């Protein structure tokens, strides 16, 4: 009975369902949230103006493609407000931006954007050249620990990148030892990784060294969060090629239940991987959708078959 009703009133059901899901999204999922350290609260205007890169990263937008087309997002035009949020014992500034206006900008400018997630390992070596046998003291320092915790939190919240920290046992004191360590880590690591070496520069400053990218910075105290997040992002950044919009068809079995059908429409309506879709035809026991996506053929195939498709082309 459900399948006959579905075939007879499919256009009505689709229209009603699409409106329902879109209304729900506007009520509960219309904010893009970014986070910053609480100690930057006095620089809130600067943080807002400098949020473009973080927003593009959150959406998986290719930034070279964005810049080559001379596009400017102007984050302040999409900014809604901010508040202080607590994550366990850590306080962060939560910035709210309008997903509706941001995504409209992307669509109006034909900017490809995709959901983006990544993970990486960060190997850390610490050393105090002035005071021997005090490396454990550095690791247990509250400022050092807070910098690690905030880096991990903000990376996951802003960049959708999960960080796993690992401490190395022996700090490399010469360039030869650094090279050997890089080779060792490359051989044993699977996936993305980076190496951060922290050594005392003088009584108040520390050297923050990323041997893999050959970047060194001198910082007062343990202020490595921004440097580390840049390195992490560079490690998992997607290939620098502009995505092409593709059109595919996909078939689903009409023997699905009403709940399965509602879930299917939810998938097509809510997924950032699906740009547009329509019912192309109903034949025999199948319903065939046509959809547009920035996914390539292989990724679109895998995405749809994980969602219960019986055929795609």
Looking at per-residue pLDDT, the higher value among 208 and 119 belongs to 208
Instruction: Report the mean per-residue pLDDT for the chain.
Output: 80
pTM greater than 0.85? no
Arithmetic mean of pLDDT, 179-191: 88
**In what order do the strands lie in the sheet containing 311-312?**
276-283, 286-293, 246-253, 311-312
- The confidence score (pLDDT) of residue 39 equals 87
SS3 breakdown of the chain: % helix, strand, coil, rounded to 5? Answer: 45, 30, 30
Domain residue ranges in the chain: 31-108, 118-236, 244-312
- Specify the pLDDT at position 131: 67
CA end-to-end distance (rounded Å), the chain:
29
The answer as to CATH 1.10.3470 being correct for domain 118-236 is: no
* Interatomic CA distance for residues 124 and 286, integer angstroms: 54
Q: Domain spanning 244-312: which CATH class is it, in words?
A: alpha beta
Q: How confident is the model at residue 1 (pLDDT cuts 50, 70, 90)?
A: very low
Euclidean distance between CA atoms 78 and 179, whole angstroms? 45
Which neighbouring-strand residues pair with 37? Answer: 92
**Other Cβ atoms within 10 Å of 267 Cβ, number:** 17
Q: Does the pLDDT of residue 11 top 80, yes or no?
A: no
C-beta atoms surrounding 171 within 10 Å: 17
In the block, which residue shows the tokens 């998992």?
Answer: 236
For the segment 190-199, what is each residue's pLDDT rounded down to a tens digit? 778 999 999 9
Average pLDDT over residues 204-227: 89
Residue pLDDT, tens place only, 139-172: 878 888 888 998 998 888 887 788 999 999 888 9
Note the pLDDT of residue 277: 79
Lowest-confidence segment of 36-45, 110-119, 233-242 by average pLDDT: 233-242
- Quick check: 263 pLDDT over 60? yes
Strand partners, 125: 197
227-238 mean pLDDT = 81
The set of residues, in sequence order, having a beta carbon less than 8 Å from that of 244 and lying 6+ positions away, is 112, 294
Contact 51, 102 (CB under 8 A): no
């Amino acid at each position: 009975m459900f399948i006959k009703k579905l075939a007879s009133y499919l256009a009505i059901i689709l229209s009603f369902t699409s409106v329902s899901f879109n209304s729900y999204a506007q009520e509960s999922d219309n904010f893009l949230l970014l986070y910053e350290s609480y100690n930057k609260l006095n620089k809130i205007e600067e943080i807002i103006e400098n949020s473009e890169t973080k927003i593009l990263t959150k959406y998986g937008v290719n930034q070279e493609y964005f810049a080559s087309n001379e596009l400017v997002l102007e984050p302040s035009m999409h900014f809604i407000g901010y508040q202080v949020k607590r994550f366990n014992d850590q306080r962060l500034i939560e910035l709210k931006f309008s997903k509706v206006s941001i995504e409209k900008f992307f669509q109006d400018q034909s900017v490809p954007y995709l959901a983006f997630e990544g993970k990486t390992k960060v190997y850390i070596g610490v050393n105090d050249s002035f005071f021997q046998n005090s490396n454990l003291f550095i690791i247990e320092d509250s400022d050092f620990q807070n910098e690690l915790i905030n880096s991990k939190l903000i990376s996951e919240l802003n960049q959708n990148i999960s960080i796993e920290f690992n401490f190395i046992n022996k700090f490399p004191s010469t360039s030869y030892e650094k090279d050997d360590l890089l080779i060792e880590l490359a051989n044993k690591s699977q996936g993305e990784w980076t190496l951060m070496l922290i050594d005392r520069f003088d009584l108040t400053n520390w050297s923050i060294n990323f041997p893999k990218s050959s970047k060194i910075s001198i910082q007062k105290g343990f202020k490595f969060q921004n440097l580390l997040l840049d390195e992490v992002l560079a490690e998992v950044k997607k290939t620098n090629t502009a995505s092409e919009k593709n059109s595919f068809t996909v078939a689903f079995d009409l023997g699905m239940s009403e709940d399965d059908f509602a879930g299917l429409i939810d998938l097509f309506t809510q997924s950032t991987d699906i740009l547009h879709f329509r019912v192309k035809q109903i034949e025999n026991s199948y319903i065939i959708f046509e959809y547009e996506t920035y996914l390539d053929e292989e990724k679109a195939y895998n995405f749809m078959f994980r969602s219960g498709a019986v055929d795609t082309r």
